[in-house]
Structure 1
Amino acid sequence: MSRPRPLVPRGDPADSVRVVGEFGVIARVLARSGTATAAEVGPGDDAAVLRTPDRRVVVTVDVLVEGRHFRRDWSSAEDVGHKAAAANLADVAAMGATTTALVVGLACPPDTLTSWLEGVAAGLAAECAPLGAAVVGGDTVAAAPDSAGVVLSVTALGDLDGRAPVLRSGARPGDVVALAGRLGWSAAGFAVLRRGFSSPLAVVSAHRRPTPPYAAGPAAADAGATAMCDVSDGLVADARHIATDSGVVIDLDRAALERACLEPVGPLQQVASALGTDPMAWVLSGGEDHALLATFPASASLPDGWTVVGTVRAGNGKPGVRVSGEDAETALHGVGARTAGHVHFG
């Protein structure tokens, strides 16, 4: 005797999560998720099993909320997947490690299209694939009826490959401060999108899909980096984490930052000129590019992709950030930046 077909709620699209069901959604998403080289047991059981040759596991988690971290009218599903992965892969890289796997928690309204979730899965997989990583598990749940949209919680697992982790607390007076990756591009893209435009495509794409320098993290650890973090909230804000945890002053060199981030002249300056903005405001306070910031002994040979942008000075009980010797808040005010970076719950 055949089972009766489930009733489809009136108005629900046939591709919605409510109609397809939890296990149907999981099957479709996993088909797009790729394979993690470190996985001994992948998705499908109560938990995944990963090989850990280093005998230590780097763990980090990031939560993306629709309307705050992404908008579906600005970004494709694949863009959201790329961005969700990048935020976590950059954190692992900032410890001097390489990502091996992701697990993803998803809360979404029941009318969410499974084709959109498949796109997110494809974006996650594409961002992870060059590192040999992939989604190896997770959980799905219906969002509350009054929910504003989709929430993605992504946990990344990484391997140090025998290295000591690079912490925020290791910077010492006399070290140099160096940067890998770009700054200000995502903030410029956000400024463009917020005004209803979609070009220049270079900065818009940078906001939709950050391009962190993943390999630069392990390379910095191998070169003797004393402290490191990824720039997710803004250069001054994240440099302050290193300064506070290390008890030092991070003195950023404005001229060096201009050379590293604004030369040659490109789309960042083009957008700034059109909007009447100083591009250094985005360089100093713009987040979500996920560049890496690190300190190295002055005698160290910096790996390819790293550029010196400052020095570490003694904190004398007052750790903080300066820009060419000037108080960071004064420097930020001078370029028109309202804050040092993103303020959670602000």
Structure 2
Amino acid sequence: MTTGRLPVKLTFADYARLMPLARGEVVPPGIDLTLTLGRRGSWEDRNAMLRRALNDPSVQGGESSFCRHVMRIDQGDRSHVALPVFPLRGFTIRDLYAVSGSPFTAIADLAGKRIGMYGWANSGAVWYRHLLATHGVDIAGIHWCIGPVDDPMPAASPEALPPGVTTPPEGGSLSAMLLAGELDAVFSPPRPRAYHRERGPIIRLVRDWRAEEERYFKQTGLFPTQHLVVIRRALWEVHPWVARALTEAFIAGNDAFTAAQRNFPYATPWLEDELERTEALLGEDFHPYGFEPNRQPIDIFAEQSWRAGITTRRLSPEVLFAEYLESAALPLPPA
């Protein structure tokens, strides 16, 4: 039986914040929305879902790398329309690793040092460089090595790298180089396999990383935006109101999830205390969707991408979200 609604299918990693939309508790006006979610806790599956959002003709979009969207716009590719919805955000100091007994214990210690990173043109990598810059570390003075954290390095790098940026030897990895003393630190979103909080041999470089991340927020006001939502331009051109309808639905779903956390804070024994501490520092809406609440991180992300040579020009938030802004005032179908 047809509903008269426009069918839209989007792919995502399995984020708890998406449950009100995935279960149909929040319904976008005029849209029959299906969210296809990945398996819980699988980095490989998460990356596969990101690829599906862009390349699978059976879906109309979904979760995508913020950095890859910025690169597409810089190259004149507007095949996908970005929505100001950021299902993945994350502070970055926890992603910085060293060997047990390392003489480097503060971010400022890394000036001029050898740092491994899983990718150059990745959303997290943009924020890693911003983090170093906020501690006075000259990015140009870092000896960068880009490659897989644990798995053996393939024969060729999957992306073009700037001059002077190296890769591990074929069959090597960043973790192996770190343990061999060939790197001073490594940035990695998933914990390296040799990591252990107390016994090492790989540990976090900043032991009290939460306190340092709190200082980062107090200094910058940023809770870094990592991934956003995109839809195919072909869909937007025929139904431009879809951008507004989906964005408002994601905002409503995000609000519903936040309310549920506050009302039933039982996922961990002290989640209620954690939420109160987080809201006292970051504010009640600490994971916001929408354009204006995210203008600052969007703008800084664009600037950092330009400074790293990822883009050829300094893009504005209005350019990156032009289609959404164009359709934000359009009327919506009845609920």
TM bracket (short chain): under 0.3
**Structure whose alpha-carbon radius of gyration is higher:** 1
- In terms of fraction of residues, the more helix-rich structure is 2
Q: Which has the higher strand share?
A: 1
- The structure, 1 or 2, with the larger RCO (C-alpha pairs under 8 Å, 6+ apart) is 2
TM-score, length of structure 1 as denominator length: 0.25
So what's the TM-score if we normalise by structure 2? 0.26
